[in-house]
Amino acid sequence: MSKLDNALCEIYHMDEIAEREQWLNHIHSLIKLVITVCFITVTVSFSKYDLAGVLRMGVYPIVVFIFGELSFRSALKRLKVILPVVCLIGVFNPFFDRQPIMEIGGIMVTAGVVSMLTLMVKGIYSVFASYLLIATTSIEKICYALRLLHVPAVIVTQILLAYRYISLLLEEASRMMQAYSLRAPNQKGVHFKVWGSLVGQLLLKSIDRANEVYESMLLRGYQGEFPYAAKGFFRVRDCVYLGVWFVIFFCLRVMI
Amino acid sequence: MNPIQISMEHVTYSYEKSCPILKDITFKANKHECIGLIGANGVGKSTLLKLMVGLNTGYEGQICIEGIPVVKENFPKTREKIGYVFQDADSQLFMSRVYDDLAFAPRNYKLPEPEVEKRVRKALEMVHIEHLKDKQIYKMSGGEKKLASIATILTMMPDVILLDEPSIALDPKNRRTLIHVLNQLNPLKIIASHDLDMILDTCSRVILLSDGKIIRDGDGKEILSDRELLEAHGLELPLCMQGIPD
C-alpha cells in the first residue's frame, strides 16, 4: 500500500475508533472537550522546573488509554511525526540555563536540562490528550461541542469541511499516483518534470470533487451551519466523569 | 392540486455563450410519472437535471417546480421538493456513517431527532439496506453506496426525484435491486441514463435528447423500440430488444 493510501486508511481508522461502542466514546463530547482543555491548561501551568509535578499529570493519559481500551503502540505510531517535533521544544535550554540544581550519581544536572525535560513532557502530554480526544470522539461530535461553547459557526464548519477535504484530496492524490506509477513502472517516485502538472491536476480535480460534495450538501438543505444531532442534556455519568477529573486535576496541581 | 410538477418552457442554456448545450427545451412532467432522459454522451442530460435543481443558473426561458420558478430567491423552497442523486455516489455521501448521511437533510430542516430517526429507518427499509445503518461509508461497495445515496434523498420525502446515471458501475444483481427500488418509489422520477434496458424497465415516458434539443417525447416502449430513431442519435436498441437477454 502506498503512503497516501496508508494515510487515508489512518483517517478512516481514526473515524472508526471514534465511533466504537465503548463507554468512553459515549461520554458527552462537550465534557471530553472541556476535560482535555482543562488537562492541557493545568499541565502547562506548572513551573518550568517542576518536572515531578508535570510527570504526575501522566495519570490522565494513562487512565484514559487503559479504560478507553486504546492501543498505546498505535498511538505512538500515529504520532511518530509530531512527537519528535514536540521534543525539540526547549532543546536549547541546557545551553542558556547552566545553573546547577542537583547532582544525580555524580552527574551535575542543570536547570536548563530540567526545564527542557519539563517542556518536552508538557508537549507530549498535550499531544496525547488531543489524540485521546479525537480517538474517543468523532469530528462531528467535537464540532458540536465547539458550537455548544459558542465558537462561531463559520470557524466550526471550516474545521469540519477541512477535515473532510483532507480525505478527498488524499483519495484523488492516491488515484493519480496509481495511474502515474502504472505508466512509469521502473521509476521511483515522481519525476520532477511532471510535479507541476500533477499538483495542478490534483488541485483542479479535488476542487471539482469538493464542489460536487458542497452541491450535494446544498441540495439537502445546508445553509451554512452544519446540522448536529441534538444530544440533549448531560447524563449523570457525564457529570461524574467531569467531576472526578476536576478533583484529580485539582489534587495533582494544588495539594500534592 | 396542480398535477404538473415540473415545467420547462423554451429553456436554453450554455456554458459558453457561443455554443448552447440546451436549445429551446419545453416539456411538462406530471405527478407520479417516471421519465427516462436518454441521449448520447454530451447531449446535456446532466445539465438539464442540474438546471431543475438550480445547480446551473443563468438559463433563458422558464423552469418551474410546482409552479415556483427555479430562481435563486426560491432555491430553499424548490430544493426542498427535489431529491437529486449524483452520478458519483462518493459525491453524495460525505459523512462518515450511513446514518449520519441519511440524517443530514432532515436535521438541516430542523426536524426533531425522533422524526429524523423515523425517516432514516424508513428510507433504509425502502432501499433494503437496513443492515448498513451504522456502516462506515468507505467500507461499502459501489452498489451499496448507490442505494445509500438514493436513501439520502428519500429522507427528505421529496415530490420529485432526479437521478443521474443511477445504474452506472453496478453489477447485474445491484442493478436489478436498483430497478426494483425505483419502481417502488411513488414520486415523480426523472432518470438520465444510457442504460436503455433500465429505462425500459422503469420509465413509461421517454425524452430523447440530441444536439441539445428534444427530438422525441412520448411512450417509452415506442421510442425504445425504434431502432432507426435511436441509431440516428447515437444510441442502440435496448439489449433485450436486440434478442440479447438482459
Over the stretch B181-190, which tens digit does the pLDDT of each residue have?
999 998 999 9
Does A12 sit within 8 Å of B136, measured CB to CB? yes
Residue indicated by cell numbers 455554443: B19
pLDDT at residue number A230: 63
Does A16 sit within 8 Å of B136, measured CB to CB? yes
Residue indicated by cell numbers 416502449: B221
B1-16 pLDDT, tens digit per residue, is 556 789 999 999 998 8
* A104: helix, strand or coil: strand
Report the residue from A138, A209, A219 with minimal CB separation from B96.
A138
**What is the spatial distance between Cα B56 and Cα B158, in angstroms, rounded to a whole number?**
20
Low-confidence ranges of chain A (pLDDT < 70): 1, 230-232, 256
pLDDT at residue number A165: 85
**pLDDT of residue B246 exceeding 60:** no
pLDDT at residue number B244: 60
pLDDT at residue number A4: 81
pTM of this structure:
0.81
Closest A-chain CA to B79: A219
Residues B123-147 as b/e (b if ≥16 CB within 10 A, e otherwise) read: bbebbebeebeeebbbebeebbbbb
pLDDT at residue number A33: 96
Report residue A214 as a C-alpha cell: 458542497
Shortest distance between the Cα of B91 and any Cα of chain A, in A, equals: 5
pLDDT at residue number A180: 87
A-chain CB neighbours of B104 within 8 Å are 217, 220, 222, 227
pLDDT band, residue B216 (cuts 50/70/90): very high
**Residue A7 at interface with chain B, using a CB cutoff of 8 Å:** no
**What is the spatial distance between Cα B190 and Cα B79, in angstroms, rounded to a whole number?**
15
> What is the arithmetic mean of pLDDT over B78-99?
90
- Whether B97 and B135 have beta carbons less than 8 Å apart is answered as yes
- Within 13 A of B61's CA, how many CA atoms are on the CB side? 20
> What is the arithmetic mean of pLDDT over B70-88?
92
